[in-house]
Each structure stands twice: as C-alpha cells, then as structure tokens.
C-alpha cells in the first residue's frame, strides 16, 4: 500500500513539471468544445504546477495543514448542503493549530483482498467520515479511494476540490475536463488508500446515484435564452432580443458559467462577505451590506464581452457581447478604505485577483484600479435590479473594457498580488496563439486576454420596406435598398469612431451612421458598444425585371456585406480569420461578412408578408 | 477704401463659416505634400472659425484689444529679434487697459493714386511703425497692405501672426499653406488699408530681400540625417543608424518641425517660463529652473512616433519612429502644485492644451494626466543630455504612448480646458478618414490621432553569413538562411506580445524572437518599441545549383517577407493598405511587406564581400 509522504509532494510536482510533455487530449471547456470537435494537442502544466508547488512547500512548515473555521456556505431548497474549508495561509487572523484538529481515525478496512493488498471502503463510510468538513477528506475515482488531505494546498484549482470530498470526483472532472490527463491521474495515484467495497460497485464502478448534482440549485432560465450547454450553463441571447433592445434585459442576458450557481441563503445578500488581502498581508472583510452603506454607489453602462464572442463567425454567426447598466461601489474606494495606498502603491501590487463562491478565479492587471477613471466596480445591481443568480448575486466584479472572464461573479475574495491568479481560467484558457502555433503550446508565452481588441458585427439586414405597401424600396437606378444594423466595440474604454460598410465584399466602402446612445451611456470612458445603422443600395449585376414588379422577381444577385470598425486609437480589425486563427477560437474579430442573396431574401420577404404583414427581414 | 469695423468681425466670420464650402486646393503640410503630389480636395473651416469667432466676440467687451506685457522672446546670433505679443484674455493677472496703449497715428500716405483711391506705403515705414511690437500691426501680401490689428484675436493660429507684422506675410503662408485659400484671402481683403509704394516694387511685387528668414537660427544638423525638407526641417534617420543603435542618438533622431526652431537666449534654459492655466482661470507660471529644483525628476524611455510613420510604405519604406530616454518632471505633480484637484477634477477638465514658443499647439485628452501611470513629462533631457534645439530645448512635453505631434516642443503654455487645442494641427492635420472619404471632408467627424494603433516593420534583412567564410548559411535541405530584424510598437502603453513573420507573403507564419530590452526600458507602461529578430530558411522553388556553390548561383527565387504584430489587448494590424487608405497617408500600419529577391541579394552579397569582406545584407 502506497501512502504518499507529504514532504515529497513539492519534489514530486517539480519532477512532474519538468518531464517531457506527452500529448494531452481535450482539455477544452464546454464552450470551446463547440468550436473544435476533438482536437489532439499538447500543453504544459508548468505554470499551474510551479505555482502549486510553491504553494505546497510554503504552506507545509510543520508537514501539517492548518485549517481555519469552516463556514457553512449554502443550503438551497433543502437539497444541497455544501461545505467549503476556508484555508488561510497568509492571514493574520487566528487559525486553529494542527493540534486543535481532532484526529480522525481511519475506519477499519471493511475487507482486504489478497490480490492487491488494498483495503475496501463502503461509499457510506467515505461520505460520512471524509466529506468536505472532515480534516481528512477523501475522494473516489472509478473504483479507487484517495486521501487528498495533503494534496489540497497544492491543488491549482484551490479549495474547490473539497466540494468532491466524501464521494466520487468524476462528475467534477466531467466539468473540469482538464483533469482527464495522465499527469493528474499520476498525481492522484500517489494518494490511493484503498478501493470501493464490491457491494457498492455495479459493473466494476460505484453507483452514481450517491452523487449530488452541484447544478441542482441553478436558477430556472428564460426559454428565450438559447441554451448551448446546461451544466455549466452557457446560453446566448436570441437574435431578436439583441436587435430589439438597447440594454439587454436581465432574463435574456447571455449566461456563461464555468460552474454551478452558488446558493446564497440570505435573500438580500447583505450578509455575504468579501475578504480583501493587501500585499502586506493585511486582511479586511466587508459584508455586502457594509459596502452598500459605507461607500458611494456609482453606475456605469458597460459591455460584457466573452473572449469567444463571434467565435462561430469562423463558420457561422454567434454572439456573446451584451451590455447592461451596472451599479455598485468602486473597488478603488474599498481598497483605499482597507488600507491600500494609491499615493504610493507598493511595487508588488501588480495584479488584483478575484475569487468567486463556486471557486472560479481570475485577475486583472492593477492598472484599471489605479486609474481613477478605470471604473472597476463591485456591482450589486444589473439594469436597476438586484443581480440575478446567473450574473453573480449578491455581488460581482465589473471591469469595464475588459473581457467578461475577469468580471468574477459571486466574488468573495480579492487579493492584491505580484502575480496573476493561478487558475487555469487566468493562465491558460483565455490566450491567443499565432495561427501556426497549434501544438507544444507554452502557456506562459502570451498574456491573458484582458482589454478586448476592436470588433464589430452585423446583427440584422433587411430589404427596406416601402411604407404602407408590400413593395421593397428602390433607389432611382432601380437598385434595392437594404437596411443593415449592428454593433462595434473596443476594449480599454477606446471609443468607436468609425464603422465602415461594404456591400461588395470590401471593394467599396461607406460609413454607417453611429447611433447616439450617449443619454444612456454612463461611466468615465467608452465602456459600451456603439450601435450603428446603414442604408444603401445593393448593386445588382443581374437583375431580371418581371412583368409584375412585386411578384415575379427572380434576382440571382448575391453579394457579401462587410463591416469593420475603427476606434479612437485608430486600431482596426484584421481582414480575415486566417491570420488570427487560434485553436480555441478566441477573439474572432476579423471583418464580419454576411452573405446576401437577394432571391432568398425575396422569398422570406414574401413569406413574412403573408404571415405577419410586416417588412421583410433576414437575420444572420 | 474699406476699413473693417471690429464689431462686425464675429458676424463676418460666422457668415463665412456658414457659407457653402468651395473647393480648396492643397492645404497639405510639407510632410504630407510628399505623399500626394497635388490633390484637389475640400474641407471646412467650421471648427477653426467657430472657435475663432467665439474667441473674437468674447474678447471684445469694449471693441478694443487688451494687450499684456510684451516679453522679448529671442534674439539669436544678432540676426533675428522676434517679439511676440502675449495676449491674456482670461488671465487673472494685471493687463494693460486699452487706454494705456499709446495710440499710433497712421503715417501720412506717401502717395494716393486716383484710380483705386488707396494710399501707398513704403516698406520701410511699415516695418518701423507696424511691426510685432506695434499696437497696430500691419502685413503685406503681394502689393497690398493690411492692418491686422482687429483680426489677431480671432486668428485661429493665435499670436504667431504677429511674427509677420511689419513685412510680407508670404513666406509664412508658404510654410502654412492652409492660408492659400479663397476664404483666407476674403478675410484678409477686409483689412486692406493701402498698397506698397511703387518704388518698393519689382515686377509689381515688393522686393523680398527685406524679409527675415525665420529659419535663420535653426541648428546645424548632422549630415547623417536624411533631410526631406529644410524649412521647416523634416529629416529622418538613415537605416544603418536605426539598425545599429538601441537608443537613437540625439544627433540622428528624426526631426519633424512644423516651423522654425525658437531661439532661447539663456544657455541653461532655466529662466524659460511655462504658464499654466486651470479651468477656474487661475494662472501660475513656473520657470524651468523652478521645475527642476522643486519637483521630483523621473525618467522614461518612450517611442516618439509620427502619425506619418511608414507612410511611404504605400509605395516604399520610410520611418519616423524612434525612441529615446526622456527625463523631466511629471506634469501631474506640477498641475497639482498649481492647484489642480486630482481628487475631484472639474467636469470641464477634458483636455490639456500645450503651446510652444514658435506657436505650434496641440492637446491631449486629460486621461493620460489623470492616470498616475500615464507618465506625462515636462522633459529637460534626452538620452541624458540637455534637449537639443531641434527637440524642444529647454523643455518639451512627452506624452508616452501618444503620437509625437502632441509632444509639444519649446512648450511655454499649458491650459486645462473643456475643448481641444484650436490649432489645425490638432483639429485637422492628424485625423484619418475612411478609404472612400476623399472629398467634402467634415473635420469634426473624427477624433484627433492620440494613442497610436499597433504597427510593426522590417528594418533589415540579410542572408545569414557562414562564420569565417564567404559562403551563405543553408539549412539541411539546402535552403538559404535569412536573418530579419525590425520593431513593433503599439500606443497607449499596450505591450507587444507577439510578432508573426511570414516568408511566403502571408501563407505560413512563424514567430519572431522578441529582444529583451527590459533593462533599458523605464516607465510605468510599455512605452517603447519592441525590437525583434527572426532567422528562417527561405523556401526556394527554383534554385539552380552551379558547379561552384559560391560563385555560380543564379537563383531566381523571389518572395515577400511579411511582419505583423499583436499587442496585449490583442489588437493586430490591418492586412493591406487599401482598407485603411486615407489621403494624408496617416497611420500606414498595414502588414509590412518586403520583397525579397535572392538573385539581387547574391549580387549585393558578392559586391559587399569584395568591398568590405563582410556578410551580405540588404537594407529596405
């Protein structure tokens, strides 16, 4: 029986990290999985593991783990009680000494089989004795049992691993598929302490009915949201909701969760706490109620844009870029209150790390917080309503001008640090490699996506209807008039100043009219998308005029509409995807092209007339 | 004889501004004239004239102009004495009342000719009685004499017009060719008071020998600078100086002057004053000596990049993008000392306007100054030496990450305002229109170029020399090895994170190696260009191997090398010029392409071997 020696963990990890990198299959998130069906690629764990190793060795002064108090996280609908162990390595607040932790004697092995020498454990006893509250948590994988006690401080994903304690880790790995690699299996194997009792196995595996679904308390979503995945929820707004609203309504605002929606018992959310940790080790905790009452509240309107926005443009149109009005307190004000010096920020204050209740974590460079016009908020409200569960209730971070992945929801911890958040969402998921860089990726080579590059898209095209008639409007030369609308956006608060439209695939250009939304825009910089409209004549090369103008048109004219935008730093979009291709399909910001087929458009127009008696339109 | 009525100026200007816009020919600066030989285009003066009109009407409470003290600007080499009238409209400091200004009686007309009823004046009397110091300044244009007294406060270019007082305005209009339009002639005609005496005319025009050359005191420049125009000086660094130095040496740093180099008598520059005007009207003047002694000095390394950098790439390569180490005091610190509140900046504090001694003016949005990491400097030193005359001695503004046109040299006035500088350099010269926008330009439509978009360029390519041999290095497959180097840069402090190189015109890509210059980089953000190098094998499709490898090669292989860069906001460059074409050739940031012809390269290599016994290289 192989029981790992805690002091060896660091060395083992380092050894692992330095090994030649074997191919790893599919570490994609559910989102990127939509993009590339079954890629084979390699990557290295160096970053996460170097960090994990440092953490592990720094935190083992006495080869023991020190636990802080064990707060009850949540119990929702009587169905789910999840307990998280809050680990406080650098905190100045009192922690229980190792001696305070009651020693838990391992249960007597139910049975020891001769052929492998490993003890067998009942699932019930594992659940009872080695759950998240236990000082000696275990997990089950396939038919084996693992004591993960000594691994937790080194776990790159942090304490979320405790969520799985007392049961099978498989459903979590189904979510965090990054674990399905030989590396992780190798690490896990070091902690094997036994096997599941044969009475709990079906076809050699434990019965899965004992596993609590972490998504059970996820909110009910609007049927108008187009759900791409449900666990975690990844849903996008339908085209008509985008086109018809200025601010996207909360219930149809796109949802991009990395895990489940954490349940907060307090209906107001006011008792939820956020812990702030400064570079000098000072820790201060604020409740949401305190934040609301003690600090001035600010409102901004800002786009939240997913780095995968327009990813499907490489094949078809998709959209995860919407904006809302956010209200809350400035992170600057809270940090200043907590003792952070904006006059003389310490050298090591380089990043602001955020963690959320469900263990998601990310960070931003500190520049946005140092900038008095950076408008980084701890937001409680979304479009004048309390944050919905899917959007971070009771409080989320809003970093305007920055990719939505940094706007951590359900935030409960903020750390000012000299390094980025160590999560894979920070250090690996949101990066773009060169178009040729498809294997042996060095994840440390490029920076995490923060400010978004300029982009634009066509959200709607339609033949201009003639008022009070079924006819389509034409110009003097007999060309059909087309109406196009869309949005443009650039990160970092850079304002869109020009939107160029081409009706002939980039040969000729004209300028769209920028919609004046200034009355609704709030904030120190241009944090919102810019809506635009365009009306022009479609140049038709082969138009056949029938006898009856309105019924017998058989135009075969096809063309491509193109949009590209320019921001106030005069950055513009790349012309095509080939030059910015990257495996994950991040930052698909090439000129947006929409095929236009007049014949099809006519059919739809006629169908629409018959059905709805309204002007024809074509959605892309 | 038509003498304009001062109170009518405002109305006349407004009337002019509201007229339909006739075509205006060539308002190009000397620089942009290099780009488009003789364009015919129209523009509107609305912006400049609206501002001029407001200024004119606001400043005429008693239909009289009020002059402040008349400081002696400069006297250089005994050749040039230039006097500027400092006009102080909103200053709280004491100004002379109109009554204090001694009335100057117009000289008796020397002669009155019957056919036009206009008096004739001798050039000598105009010079003596109506020069820059006079309270009643006149100018000469062709054979006519104009009393510009009442026009000065409304002049969009400000007080620089006084420079021409007492003589012909023509040499100035040759520099500021914007004046050569029907508009300006119409305005001028209103102020006509007579004609030049026939004895001072040659072929109907005044002798030009009486005109002082404002460029007479310009410094002697290094012969290594490639001079494109001399008055004003527009000179660029030669390729070898760029490639061989990390910091561009001062004497070969590119020079881009809009006017002459002002002469500062004080050799230390310490008595030179900078006046700061706050939104509440408070005015405070600091001498350079005071700035040096009272404020902490900071050093940054930053690129100065002309908006026309790579303009000639549309046809051939050109470069005005170099970096230097700058040292001075932070504008933030000085503004705070002057009483500007960074805690609660007033709403009207939107722009920071800078004026220089030679009357050049420009402004920046206040965001760079509000940002504690904006690093905006009042710089006294360039590469550890006092600023050279061509680069702003004794003090210039350095706005890192921003186009060089805002880094005003010889700065003597800083105004915090709710609007941009009213100069044409701010409101017209540095903007980019869409590729289709070539006439009837509305200059108010787009923003002034401030932060620069991402760009990159190849500065050198060469066949890799084999060490200690005349041969060129080849890879295992027999392909020639090529060495390429260049730079990449993005504005706003956005760091270059990737440089992609293609040796086959964009079909395949690889990454260049970024040179680690961090030891030399100083400042809060990425203000410097990023140098890069690349080594790769040139894929040859038609290589003929001769008997003697080194002497009989007749490769006909031609290809195109391409570079494109990506910054930390993942902005990248446009693929080609067509989509970003603009008449002035600003911001030529498309992928940089360099044709490569192996045959020519061989010839050069062989020539170089014979001549210099060193490795072959090809400069672009």
Dig out the tokens for B300 from the structure: 């940054």
Asked if B447 lies within 8 A of A575 by C-beta distance, the reply is no
Clarify whether residues B233 and B126 are in a common domain.
no
Clarify whether residues A362 and A500 are in a common domain.
no
Clarify whether residues A281 and A203 are in a common domain.
no
- Paired residues of A324 in beta bridges: A302
Contact status, residue B475 vs residue B555, Cβ threshold 8 Å: no
Asked if A509 lies within 8 A of B568 by C-beta distance, the reply is no
Structure confidence by residue, pLDDT tens digits, B445-501: 999 999 999 999 998 898 888 877 777 788 888 888 999 999 999 999 999 999 999
For chain B, percent of residues with pLDDT exceeding 90: 41
Clarify whether residues B271 and B354 are in a common domain.
yes
Asked if B452 lies within 8 A of A569 by C-beta distance, the reply is yes
Task: Supply the pLDDT for residue B238.
Answer: 74
Minimal Cα–Cα distance from B124 to chain A, Å?
51
Q: Is B172 a catalytic residue?
A: no
Average of per-residue pLDDT values in chain A: 76
Asked if B568 lies within 8 A of A342 by C-beta distance, the reply is no
Structure confidence by residue, pLDDT tens digits, A368-401: 999 999 999 999 999 999 999 999 999 999 999 9
Clarify whether residues A62 and A157 are in a common domain.
yes
When scoring B371, B488, B572 by the number of chain A Cβ atoms within 10 A, the one with the most, hence best to mutate, is: B572
B571 contact residues in A (CB cutoff 8 A): 453-454, 571
E strands present in B404-480:
411-417, 455-463
Q: Is A45 a catalytic residue?
A: no
Residue in B closest to A574 by C-alpha: B574
The number of angstroms, rounded, from the C-alpha of B401 to the middle of its chain's C-alpha atoms is 15
Consecutive H or E run containing B500: strand B496-502
Structure confidence by residue, pLDDT tens digits, B137-168: 999 999 999 999 988 877 766 677 888 899 88
B497 contact residues in A (CB cutoff 8 A): 446-447
Dig out the tokens for B6 from the structure: 């001062």
Residue A307 banded pLDDT, cuts 50, 70, 90: confident
Indicate whether A329 belongs to any domain. Answer: yes
Looking at residue A563, which CATH number applies to its domain? 2.60.40.650
Indicate whether B432 belongs to any domain. Answer: no
Of A423, A419, A427, A424, the C-alpha closest to A445 is A427
Q: Catalytic residue among A121, A286, A430, A534, which?
A: A430
Indicate whether B216 belongs to any domain. Answer: no
**Residue B556 and residue A601: Cα distance in Å, rounded?**
51
Indicate whether A445 belongs to any domain. Answer: no
Give exposure, A461-483, as e/b (b: 16+ Cβ within 10 Å): bbbbbeeeebebbbeeeebbbbb
Looking at residue B176, which CATH number applies to its domain? 3.10.120.10
Indicate whether A218 belongs to any domain. Answer: no
Dig out the tokens for B90 from the structure: 């909103």
Contact status, residue B359 vs residue B423, Cβ threshold 8 Å: no
Residue A342 banded pLDDT, cuts 50, 70, 90: very high
Residue in A closest to B495 by C-alpha: A447
Indicate whether A550 belongs to any domain. Answer: yes
Cβ within 8 Å of residue A464, ≥6 positions away: A472, A473, A480, A481, A482, A483, A535, A615
B492 contact residues in A (CB cutoff 8 A): 492, 569
Residue in A closest to B571 by C-alpha: A453
More confident residue, B583 or B463: B463
A435 contact residues in B (CB cutoff 8 A): 500, 509
Phi/psi at A444 (nearest 5 deg)? -80, -10
Task: Supply the pLDDT for residue A86.
Answer: 25
For chain A, percent of residues with pLDDT exceeding 70: 71
Clarify whether residues A259 and A356 are in a common domain.
yes
Clarify whether residues A331 and A248 are in a common domain.
yes
Indicate whether A86 belongs to any domain. Answer: yes
Indicate whether B325 belongs to any domain. Answer: yes
Q: Which of A395, A421, A447 is the last residue of a domain?
A: A421
Residue in B closest to A494 by C-alpha: B451
Clarify whether residues A233 and A365 are in a common domain.
yes
Q: Catalytic residue among B65, B66, B120, B179, which?
A: B179
Average of per-residue pLDDT values in chain B: 76
Task: Supply the pLDDT for residue B353.
Answer: 97
Q: Give the count of domains, chain A.
A: 3
What ipTM does the predicted assembly reach? 0.72
Clarify whether residues A393 and A464 are in a common domain.
no
**Residue A134 and residue A136: Cα distance in Å, rounded?**
5
**Residue A455 and residue A571: Cα distance in Å, rounded?**
10
A497 contact residues in B (CB cutoff 8 A): 446-447
More confident residue, A18 or A212: A212
Q: Is B179 a catalytic residue?
A: yes
Q: Which of B210, B234, B261 is the last residue of a domain?
A: B210
Clarify whether residues B502 and B591 are in a common domain.
yes
Q: pLDDT at residue A536 above 80? A: yes
Cα within 13 Å of Cα(B193), Cβ side:
21
Q: Which of B210, B242, B268 is the last residue of a domain?
A: B210
Q: pLDDT at residue A276 above 90? A: yes
Structural domain that includes position A574: 455-619
**Residue B617 and residue A228: Cα distance in Å, rounded?**
55
Q: What angle do CA A156, A258, A450 make, to 5 degrees?
A: 80
Clarify whether residues A204 and A240 are in a common domain.
no
Structure confidence by residue, pLDDT tens digits, B240-291: 666 566 677 888 888 888 888 988 989 999 999 999 999 999 999 999 999 9
Clarify whether residues A176 and A272 are in a common domain.
no
Minimal Cα–Cα distance from B452 to chain A, Å?
6
Of B49, B91, B50, B44, the C-alpha closest to B67 is B91
């Amino acid at each position: 029986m192989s029981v790992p020696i805690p002091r060896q963990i660091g060395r083992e990890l380092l050894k692992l990290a330095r090994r030649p990198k074997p191919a790893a299959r599919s570490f994609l998130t559910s989102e990127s999985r939509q993009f590339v069906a079954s890629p084979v690629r390699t990557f290295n764990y160096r970053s996460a593991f170097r960090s994990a190793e440092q953490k592990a060795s720094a935190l083992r002064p006495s080869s023991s783990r020190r636990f802080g108090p064990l707060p009850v996280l949540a119990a929702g609908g009587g169905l789910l009680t999840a307990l998280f162990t809050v680990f406080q390595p650098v905190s100045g607040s009192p922690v229980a000494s190792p001696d305070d932790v009651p020693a838990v004697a391992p249960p007597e092995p139910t049975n020891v089989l001769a052929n492998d020498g490993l003890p067998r454990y009942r699932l019930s006893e594992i659940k009872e004795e080695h759950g998240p509250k236990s000082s000696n948590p275990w997990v089950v994988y396939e038919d084996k049992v693992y004591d993960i006690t000594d691994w937790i401080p080194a776990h790159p994903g942090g304490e979320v691993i405790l969520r799985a304690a007392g049961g099978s880790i498989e459903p979590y790995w189904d979510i965090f598929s990054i674990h399905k690699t030989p590396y992780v299996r190798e690490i896990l194997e070091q902690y094997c302490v036994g096997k599941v009792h044969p009475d709990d196995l079906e076809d050699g595996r434990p019965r899965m009915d004992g596993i609590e679904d972490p998504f059970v308390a996820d909110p009910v979503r609007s049927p108008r949201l187009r759900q791409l995945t449900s666990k975690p929820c990844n849903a996008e707004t339908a085209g008509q909701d985008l086109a018809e609203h200025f601010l996207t309504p909360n219930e149809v605002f796109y949802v991009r969760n990395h895990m489940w929606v954490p349940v907060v018992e307090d209906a107001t959310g006011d008792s939820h706490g956020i812990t702030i940790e400064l570079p000098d080790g000072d820790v201060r905790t604020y409740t949401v109620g305190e934040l609301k009452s003690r600090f001035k509240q600010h409102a901004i309107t800002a786009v939240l844009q997913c780095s995968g926005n327009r990813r499907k443009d490489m094949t078809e149109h998709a959209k995860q870029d919407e904006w809302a009005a956010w209200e809350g307190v400035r992170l600057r004000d809270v940090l200043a209150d907590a003792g952070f010096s904006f006059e003389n920020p310490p050298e090591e204050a380089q990043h602001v790390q955020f963690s959320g209740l469900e263990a998601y974590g990310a960070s931003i460079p500190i520049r946005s917080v140092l900038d008095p016009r950076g408008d980084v908020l701890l937001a409680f409200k979304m479009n004048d309503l309390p944050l919905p569960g899917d959007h971070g209730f009771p409080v989320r971070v809003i970093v305007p001008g920055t990719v939505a992945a940094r706007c951590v929801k359900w935030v409960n911890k903020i750390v000012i640090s000299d390094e980025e958040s160590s999560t894979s969402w920070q250090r690996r998921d949101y990066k773009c490699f060169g178009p040729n860089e498809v294997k042996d990726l060095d994840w440390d080579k490029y920076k995490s996506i923060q400010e978004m590059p300029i982009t634009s898209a066509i959200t709607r095209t339609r033949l201009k209807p003639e008022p009070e008639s079924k006819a389509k409007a034409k110009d003097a030369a007999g060309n059909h008039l087309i109406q196009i609308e869309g949005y443009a956006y650039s990160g970092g608060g850079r304002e869109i100043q020009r939107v160029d439209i081409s009706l002939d695939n980039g040969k000729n250009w004209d300028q769209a009219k920028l919609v004046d939304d200034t009355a609704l825009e709030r904030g120190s910089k241009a944090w919102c998308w810019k809506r635009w409209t365009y009306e022009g004549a479609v140049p038709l090369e082969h138009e056949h005029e029938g006898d009856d103008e309105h019924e017998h048109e058989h135009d075969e004219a096809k063309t491509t509409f193109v949009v590209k935008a320019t921001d106030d730093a005069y950055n513009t979009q790349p012309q095509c995807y080939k030059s910015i291709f990257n495996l994950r399909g991040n930052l698909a910001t090439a000129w947006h092209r929409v095929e236009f087929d007049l014949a099809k458009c006519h059919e739809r127009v006629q169908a629409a007339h018959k059905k709805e008696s309204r002007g024809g339109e074509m959605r892309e």
